[in-house]
Amino acid sequence: MTTHKLKDQVEFVLEKYPKTRDSDVSLTTTIWQVYYQDKIFQNGEGLVCIRLRDLHYIPREDTIKRIRAKI
């Protein structure tokens, strides 16, 4: 994924979901839920999860945090 594409995702989520403006964790998890649904699943207990192997295919919180700081 290009940084430009991720920047567009960050801008969209910040605009559409105002509560994400106050928390890097909320911003990151919302981006994952909106754009990376194929990497998220519910386990048998109903908890929302991401497999460790899929962490290679989703943007990291620190990258999203840096983009948000520039905006």
Backbone angles phi, psi at 6, to 5 degrees: -65, -40
User: Which residues constitute the domain of residue 19?
Assistant: 3-70
pLDDT at 4: 76
In the prediction, which pLDDT does 17 show? 98
Rounded to whole angstroms, the Cα distance separating 68 from 27 reads 9
How high is the pLDDT of residue 48? 95
State phi, psi for 16 to the nearest 5 degrees.
Answer: -80, -30
Q: Structurally, how many domains does the chain consist of?
A: 1
Query: What pLDDT tens digit does each residue of the chain (71 aa) get?
Result: 666 799 999 999 999 999 999 999 999 999 999 999 999 999 999 999 999 999 999 999 999 999 999 98
Taking a C-beta distance cutoff of 8 angstroms, is the pair 1, 56 a contact? Answer: no
Report whether 39 contacts 57 (CB < 8 A): yes
